[in-house]
Protein backbone atom coordinates (compact mmCIF):
# COMPACT_ATOMS: atom_id res chain seq x y z
CA UNK A 1 0.00 0.00 0.00
CA UNK A 2 1.33 3.40 -0.99
CA UNK A 3 0.86 6.72 0.81
CA UNK A 4 1.08 9.77 -1.45
CA UNK A 5 2.02 13.01 0.33
CA UNK A 6 0.56 15.95 -1.56
CA UNK A 7 0.35 19.69 -1.08
CA UNK A 8 1.47 23.05 -2.35
CA UNK A 9 5.18 23.85 -2.42
CA UNK A 10 6.65 24.94 0.95
CA UNK A 11 3.84 23.31 2.96
CA UNK A 12 6.25 21.18 5.01
CA UNK A 13 5.27 18.07 3.08
CA UNK A 14 8.84 16.88 2.54
CA UNK A 15 9.67 17.39 6.22
CA UNK A 16 6.71 15.21 7.13
CA UNK A 17 7.87 12.58 4.61
CA UNK A 18 11.32 12.55 6.18
CA UNK A 19 9.83 12.17 9.66
CA UNK A 20 7.53 9.33 8.59
CA UNK A 21 10.29 7.40 6.83
CA UNK A 22 13.34 8.39 8.89
CA UNK A 23 15.03 9.49 5.65
CA UNK A 24 17.01 12.64 5.18
CA UNK A 25 16.99 14.76 2.07
CA UNK A 26 19.75 13.81 -0.34
CA UNK A 27 21.39 16.22 -2.80
CA UNK A 28 19.29 16.71 -5.91
CA UNK A 29 16.17 15.12 -4.38
CA UNK A 30 14.18 18.36 -4.10
CA UNK A 31 11.37 18.63 -6.64
CA UNK A 32 11.52 14.90 -7.38
CA UNK A 33 9.29 12.01 -6.35
CA UNK A 34 11.01 10.38 -3.36
CA UNK A 35 10.08 7.03 -1.80
CA UNK A 36 10.57 5.52 1.64
CA UNK A 37 9.14 2.99 4.13
CA UNK A 38 6.90 4.02 7.03
CA UNK A 39 6.87 1.92 10.21
CA UNK A 40 3.36 1.86 11.71
CA UNK A 41 3.73 2.57 15.46
CA UNK A 42 1.89 0.01 17.60
CA UNK A 43 2.12 -0.15 21.41
CA UNK A 44 0.84 -3.74 21.23
CA UNK A 45 3.97 -4.75 19.33
CA UNK A 46 6.06 -2.90 21.92
CA UNK A 47 4.37 -4.84 24.73
CA UNK A 48 4.74 -8.24 23.02
CA UNK A 49 8.37 -7.56 22.19
CA UNK A 50 9.09 -6.62 25.80
CA UNK A 51 7.41 -9.80 27.01
CA UNK A 52 8.94 -12.32 24.56
CA UNK A 53 12.29 -10.53 24.16
CA UNK A 54 12.65 -11.87 20.58
CA UNK A 55 15.71 -11.73 18.37
CA UNK A 56 13.74 -9.58 15.96
CA UNK A 57 10.74 -7.23 16.20
CA UNK A 58 8.89 -6.32 13.01
CA UNK A 59 6.25 -3.60 12.77
CA UNK A 60 3.69 -3.22 10.01
CA UNK A 61 4.96 -0.99 7.20
CA UNK A 62 3.63 1.13 4.37
CA UNK A 63 5.39 2.82 1.45
CA UNK A 64 5.39 6.61 1.37
CA UNK A 65 5.92 8.76 -1.71
CA UNK A 66 6.82 12.44 -1.46
CA UNK A 67 5.04 13.87 -4.51
CA UNK A 68 6.51 17.14 -5.84
CA UNK A 69 4.57 20.15 -4.58
CA UNK A 70 1.75 21.48 -6.73
CA UNK A 71 2.25 24.95 -8.18
CA UNK A 72 -1.21 26.22 -9.19
CA UNK A 73 -1.32 27.44 -12.79
CA UNK A 74 1.92 25.74 -13.80
CA UNK A 75 0.89 23.11 -16.36
CA UNK A 76 4.07 21.04 -16.16
CA UNK A 77 3.86 20.91 -12.36
CA UNK A 78 0.19 19.88 -12.52
CA UNK A 79 0.79 17.06 -15.02
CA UNK A 80 3.64 15.50 -13.02
CA UNK A 81 1.65 15.97 -9.81
CA UNK A 82 -1.44 14.17 -11.15
CA UNK A 83 0.64 11.35 -12.63
CA UNK A 84 2.24 10.62 -9.26
CA UNK A 85 -1.05 10.94 -7.37
CA UNK A 86 -2.68 8.30 -9.58
CA UNK A 87 -0.28 5.62 -8.29
CA UNK A 88 -1.04 6.25 -4.59
CA UNK A 89 -3.56 4.22 -2.57
CA UNK A 90 -4.19 6.94 0.02
CA UNK A 91 -3.38 10.66 0.05
CA UNK A 92 -2.05 12.76 2.92
CA UNK A 93 -2.60 16.42 2.08
CA UNK A 94 -0.15 18.61 4.02
CA UNK A 95 -1.29 22.21 4.39
CA UNK A 96 0.81 25.16 5.53
CA UNK A 97 -0.55 27.17 8.43
CA UNK A 98 2.67 28.74 9.71
CA UNK A 99 4.64 31.81 8.69
CA UNK A 100 8.04 31.25 7.07
CA UNK A 101 9.82 34.43 5.89
CA UNK A 102 12.39 32.31 4.02
CA UNK A 103 9.67 30.51 2.05
CA UNK A 104 6.53 32.68 1.86
CA UNK A 105 3.25 31.06 0.89
CA UNK A 106 2.71 30.71 -2.87
CA UNK A 107 -0.66 32.46 -2.66
CA UNK A 108 0.68 35.34 -0.55
CA UNK A 109 -1.18 34.56 2.66
CA UNK A 110 -2.21 31.64 4.88
CA UNK A 111 -5.62 30.10 4.20
CA UNK A 112 -5.79 26.34 4.89
CA UNK A 113 -9.28 25.83 3.44
CA UNK A 114 -8.30 27.58 0.19
CA UNK A 115 -5.17 25.40 -0.07
CA UNK A 116 -7.23 22.26 0.46
CA UNK A 117 -9.70 23.32 -2.23
CA UNK A 118 -6.91 24.20 -4.68
CA UNK A 119 -5.57 20.65 -4.62
CA UNK A 120 -9.00 19.00 -4.54
CA UNK A 121 -10.06 21.11 -7.54
CA UNK A 122 -7.16 19.76 -9.61
CA UNK A 123 -8.16 16.21 -8.66
CA UNK A 124 -11.79 16.94 -9.59
CA UNK A 125 -10.80 18.36 -12.98
CA UNK A 126 -8.59 15.36 -13.74
CA UNK A 127 -11.40 12.92 -12.88
CA UNK A 128 -13.92 14.90 -14.90
CA UNK A 129 -11.61 14.84 -17.92
CA UNK A 130 -11.19 11.07 -17.53
CA UNK A 131 -14.97 10.55 -17.30
CA UNK A 132 -15.62 12.68 -20.41
CA UNK A 133 -13.02 10.77 -22.43
CA UNK A 134 -14.41 7.40 -21.36
CA UNK A 135 -17.99 8.43 -22.26
CA UNK A 136 -16.82 9.61 -25.69
CA UNK A 137 -14.90 6.37 -26.26
CA UNK A 138 -17.93 4.22 -25.43
CA UNK A 139 -20.27 6.26 -27.63
CA UNK A 140 -18.01 5.87 -30.65
CA UNK A 141 -17.93 2.07 -30.20
CA UNK A 142 -20.55 -0.63 -30.78
CA UNK A 143 -23.44 -0.27 -28.30
CA UNK A 144 -24.27 -3.13 -25.91
CA UNK A 145 -25.98 -3.62 -22.54
CA UNK A 146 -22.74 -3.49 -20.52
CA UNK A 147 -21.72 -0.21 -22.18
CA UNK A 148 -25.16 1.29 -21.54
CA UNK A 149 -24.87 0.46 -17.81
CA UNK A 150 -21.37 1.93 -17.70
CA UNK A 151 -22.59 5.11 -19.41
CA UNK A 152 -25.29 5.48 -16.72
CA UNK A 153 -22.66 5.17 -13.98
CA UNK A 154 -20.30 7.60 -15.72
CA UNK A 155 -23.11 10.16 -16.01
CA UNK A 156 -23.67 9.91 -12.25
CA UNK A 157 -19.94 10.40 -11.69
CA UNK A 158 -19.94 13.38 -14.03
CA UNK A 159 -22.88 15.02 -12.22
CA UNK A 160 -21.13 14.51 -8.88
CA UNK A 161 -17.85 15.99 -10.11
CA UNK A 162 -19.56 18.96 -11.77
CA UNK A 163 -21.21 19.65 -8.41
CA UNK A 164 -17.62 19.82 -7.06
CA UNK A 165 -18.09 16.71 -4.94
CA UNK A 166 -15.55 13.85 -4.89
CA UNK A 167 -16.44 10.44 -6.29
CA UNK A 168 -15.86 9.03 -2.79
CA UNK A 169 -19.07 10.81 -1.69
CA UNK A 170 -21.23 8.60 -3.94
CA UNK A 171 -23.00 5.51 -2.67
CA UNK A 172 -22.14 2.71 -5.09
CA UNK A 173 -23.14 -0.93 -5.46
CA UNK A 174 -20.43 -3.60 -5.18
CA UNK A 175 -20.27 -3.90 -8.99
CA UNK A 176 -20.09 -0.13 -9.44
CA UNK A 177 -17.41 0.19 -6.77
CA UNK A 178 -15.29 -2.43 -8.57
CA UNK A 179 -15.62 -0.57 -11.87
CA UNK A 180 -14.72 2.75 -10.25
CA UNK A 181 -11.72 1.13 -8.54
CA UNK A 182 -10.43 -0.06 -11.92
CA UNK A 183 -10.46 3.54 -13.19
CA UNK A 184 -8.26 4.68 -10.26
CA UNK A 185 -10.11 7.98 -10.01
CA UNK A 186 -8.23 10.53 -7.93
CA UNK A 187 -11.19 11.76 -5.86
CA UNK A 188 -12.16 8.17 -5.02
CA UNK A 189 -8.95 7.68 -3.06
CA UNK A 190 -8.98 7.73 0.77
CA UNK A 191 -7.88 11.17 1.96
CA UNK A 192 -6.29 12.50 5.17
CA UNK A 193 -5.60 16.19 5.85
CA UNK A 194 -2.65 17.33 7.97
CA UNK A 195 -2.45 21.01 8.90
CA UNK A 196 1.15 21.98 9.64
CA UNK A 197 0.92 24.72 12.26
CA UNK A 198 3.42 26.98 14.02
CA UNK A 199 5.06 25.43 17.08
CA UNK A 200 3.69 28.20 19.30
CA UNK A 201 0.15 27.00 18.56
CA UNK A 202 0.70 23.29 19.18
CA UNK A 203 -1.40 23.22 22.36
CA UNK A 204 -4.35 25.18 20.90
CA UNK A 205 -6.70 22.19 20.90
CA UNK A 206 -9.71 24.42 20.17
CA UNK A 207 -8.25 24.98 16.68
CA UNK A 208 -9.34 21.45 15.84
CA UNK A 209 -13.00 22.42 16.18
CA UNK A 210 -13.36 26.10 15.32
CA UNK A 211 -11.66 26.56 11.95
CA UNK A 212 -13.22 26.61 8.48
CA UNK A 213 -11.10 23.69 7.33
CA UNK A 214 -12.20 21.62 10.34
CA UNK A 215 -15.84 22.24 9.48
CA UNK A 216 -15.23 21.35 5.82
CA UNK A 217 -13.47 18.11 6.76
CA UNK A 218 -16.29 17.17 9.12
CA UNK A 219 -18.82 17.73 6.34
CA UNK A 220 -16.81 15.68 3.84
CA UNK A 221 -15.88 13.04 6.46
CA UNK A 222 -12.15 13.60 5.86
CA UNK A 223 -9.88 12.81 8.84
CA UNK A 224 -8.01 15.94 9.98
CA UNK A 225 -4.92 16.20 12.17
CA UNK A 226 -3.01 19.29 13.33
CA UNK A 227 0.70 19.01 14.00
CA UNK A 228 3.88 21.05 13.95
CA UNK A 229 6.55 19.50 11.74
CA UNK A 230 9.17 21.45 13.68
CA UNK A 231 7.96 20.01 17.01
CA UNK A 232 7.70 16.52 15.51
CA UNK A 233 11.33 16.85 14.39
CA UNK A 234 12.36 17.61 17.97
CA UNK A 235 10.28 14.69 19.31
CA UNK A 236 11.99 12.35 16.84
CA UNK A 237 15.38 13.25 18.31
CA UNK A 238 14.37 12.15 21.83
CA UNK A 239 14.14 8.71 23.40
CA UNK A 240 11.90 7.14 26.05
CA UNK A 241 11.47 9.25 29.19
CA UNK A 242 12.83 12.41 27.56
CA UNK A 243 10.24 12.17 24.79
CA UNK A 244 7.42 11.63 27.29
CA UNK A 245 8.52 14.62 29.40
CA UNK A 246 8.70 16.79 26.28
CA UNK A 247 5.16 15.79 25.28
CA UNK A 248 3.86 16.52 28.77
CA UNK A 249 5.49 19.97 28.76
CA UNK A 250 3.63 20.75 25.54
CA UNK A 251 0.38 19.29 26.87
CA UNK A 252 0.38 16.70 24.06
CA UNK A 253 -0.91 13.21 24.80
CA UNK A 254 0.61 11.60 21.71
CA UNK A 255 2.82 12.60 18.80
CA UNK A 256 0.82 13.89 15.84
CA UNK A 257 3.01 11.80 13.57
CA UNK A 258 1.91 8.60 15.32
CA UNK A 259 -1.75 9.61 15.05
CA UNK A 260 -1.41 10.38 11.33
CA UNK A 261 0.22 7.02 10.61
CA UNK A 262 -2.57 5.14 12.38
CA UNK A 263 -5.21 7.27 10.63
CA UNK A 264 -3.78 6.31 7.24
CA UNK A 265 -3.60 2.63 8.19
CA UNK A 266 -7.25 2.67 9.26
CA UNK A 267 -8.34 4.74 6.24
CA UNK A 268 -6.93 2.03 3.97
CA UNK A 269 -9.10 -0.55 5.72
CA UNK A 270 -6.04 -2.32 7.13
CA UNK A 271 -5.62 -4.18 10.42
CA UNK A 272 -2.75 -6.08 12.07
CA UNK A 273 -2.56 -9.55 13.50
CA UNK A 274 0.51 -10.77 15.40
CA UNK A 275 2.73 -13.80 15.48
CA UNK A 276 4.93 -14.13 18.56
CA UNK A 277 7.87 -16.17 19.81
CA UNK A 278 11.51 -16.04 20.87
CA UNK A 279 12.70 -15.66 17.28
CA UNK A 280 10.38 -12.85 16.23
CA UNK A 281 7.38 -10.75 17.21
CA UNK A 282 5.77 -9.53 14.02
CA UNK A 283 2.75 -7.46 12.93
CA UNK A 284 1.17 -8.72 9.72
CA UNK A 285 -0.92 -6.38 7.60
CA UNK A 286 -4.21 -7.62 6.17
CA UNK A 287 -7.43 -6.03 4.95
CA UNK A 288 -10.31 -5.86 7.41
CA UNK A 289 -12.66 -8.82 7.02
CA UNK A 290 -10.05 -11.32 5.80
CA UNK A 291 -10.58 -15.00 6.71
CA UNK A 292 -7.93 -16.91 8.68
CA UNK A 293 -6.88 -19.22 5.83
CA UNK A 294 -6.22 -16.26 3.53
CA UNK A 295 -4.42 -14.43 6.34
CA UNK A 296 -2.19 -17.49 6.75
CA UNK A 297 -1.13 -17.02 3.13
CA UNK A 298 0.33 -13.63 4.07
CA UNK A 299 2.96 -15.54 6.06
CA UNK A 300 3.55 -18.29 3.49
CA UNK A 301 1.56 -19.91 0.70
CA UNK A 302 2.32 -23.37 2.18
CA UNK A 303 0.57 -22.41 5.41
CA UNK A 304 -2.53 -21.36 3.47
CA UNK A 305 -2.45 -24.50 1.32
CA UNK A 306 -2.00 -26.87 4.28
CA UNK A 307 -4.18 -24.90 6.73
CA UNK A 308 -5.69 -27.03 9.55
CA UNK A 309 -6.63 -24.67 12.37
CA UNK A 310 -5.70 -21.28 13.81
CA UNK A 311 -4.92 -20.83 17.51
CA UNK A 312 -6.23 -17.37 18.31
CA UNK A 313 -6.27 -15.06 21.32
CA UNK A 314 -7.21 -11.37 21.28
CA UNK A 315 -4.39 -9.06 22.39
CA UNK A 316 -6.36 -7.62 25.32
CA UNK A 317 -7.25 -11.11 26.56
CA UNK A 318 -3.64 -12.21 26.26
CA UNK A 319 -2.38 -9.14 28.12
CA UNK A 320 -4.89 -9.75 30.89
CA UNK A 321 -3.89 -13.43 31.16
CA UNK A 322 -0.15 -12.70 30.98
CA UNK A 323 0.86 -15.80 29.01
CA UNK A 324 -0.37 -18.27 26.41
CA UNK A 325 -0.80 -21.04 28.98
CA UNK A 326 -2.86 -18.77 31.23
CA UNK A 327 -4.99 -17.67 28.25
CA UNK A 328 -5.59 -21.34 27.41
CA UNK A 329 -6.63 -22.05 31.00
CA UNK A 330 -9.00 -19.08 30.98
CA UNK A 331 -10.50 -20.22 27.68
CA UNK A 332 -9.56 -17.08 25.74
CA UNK A 333 -7.06 -18.97 23.59
CA UNK A 334 -9.21 -20.91 21.16
CA UNK A 335 -9.13 -22.89 17.92
CA UNK A 336 -10.70 -21.36 14.81
CA UNK A 337 -11.37 -22.75 11.34
CA UNK A 338 -10.53 -21.47 7.88
CA UNK A 339 -13.56 -19.15 7.68
CA UNK A 340 -12.85 -17.29 10.93
CA UNK A 341 -12.58 -13.54 10.34
CA UNK A 342 -9.27 -12.33 11.78
CA UNK A 343 -9.71 -9.34 14.09
CA UNK A 344 -7.37 -6.42 14.64
CA UNK A 345 -4.95 -7.35 17.42
CA UNK A 346 -5.43 -11.11 17.21
CA UNK A 347 -2.36 -13.15 18.20
CA UNK A 348 -2.40 -16.16 15.88
CA UNK A 349 -0.52 -19.43 15.54
CA UNK A 350 -1.44 -21.40 12.42
CA UNK A 351 -1.49 -25.20 12.42
CA UNK A 352 -0.82 -26.63 8.96
CA UNK A 353 0.40 -29.70 7.16
CA UNK A 354 1.90 -29.94 3.66
For the domain with range 2-266, which CATH number is right: 3.40.50.300, 3.40.50.20, 3.30.1540.20, 3.40.50.2000?
A: 3.40.50.300
The number of CA neighbours under 13 Å toward the Cβ of 186 is 24
Q: List the chain domain ranges.
A: 2-266, 289-352
Same CATH topology for 2-266 and 289-352: the answer is no
- pLDDT of 315: 97
Domain boundaries 289-352, corresponding CATH code: 3.10.20.30
- pLDDT of 210: 62
CB atoms within 10 A of CB 234: 13
- As a whole number, mean pLDDT of residues 71-93 equals 84
Q: Tell me whether strands 334-336 and 307-314 are parallel, antiparallel or unpaired.
A: antiparallel
Weakest-pLDDT range from 46-60, 67-81, 178-192: 67-81
What does the alpha-carbon distance between residue 248 and residue 272 come to, in Å, rounded to a whole number? 29
End-to-end CA distance of the chain: 30
Which whole-number Å values give the CA distances from 279 to 46, 52, 96, 156, 224, in the listed order? 15, 9, 44, 53, 38
- pLDDT of 204: 60
What does the alpha-carbon distance between residue 303 and residue 78 come to, in Å, rounded to a whole number? 46
**Which residues on adjacent β-strands are paired with residue 280?**
56
Average pLDDT of the chain is 88
> Taking 90 as the threshold, does the pLDDT of residue 58 lie above it?
yes
Amino acid sequence: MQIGLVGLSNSGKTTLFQLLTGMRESPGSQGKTNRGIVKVPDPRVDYLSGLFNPKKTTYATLEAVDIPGLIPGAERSTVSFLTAVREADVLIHVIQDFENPEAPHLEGNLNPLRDLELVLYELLLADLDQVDKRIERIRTGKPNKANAEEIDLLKRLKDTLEAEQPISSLELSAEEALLVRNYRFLTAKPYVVVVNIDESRISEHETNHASEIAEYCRTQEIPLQYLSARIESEIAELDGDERQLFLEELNIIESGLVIVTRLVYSRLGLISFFTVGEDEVKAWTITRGMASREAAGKIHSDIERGFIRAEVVAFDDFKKAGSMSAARTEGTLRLEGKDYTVKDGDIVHFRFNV
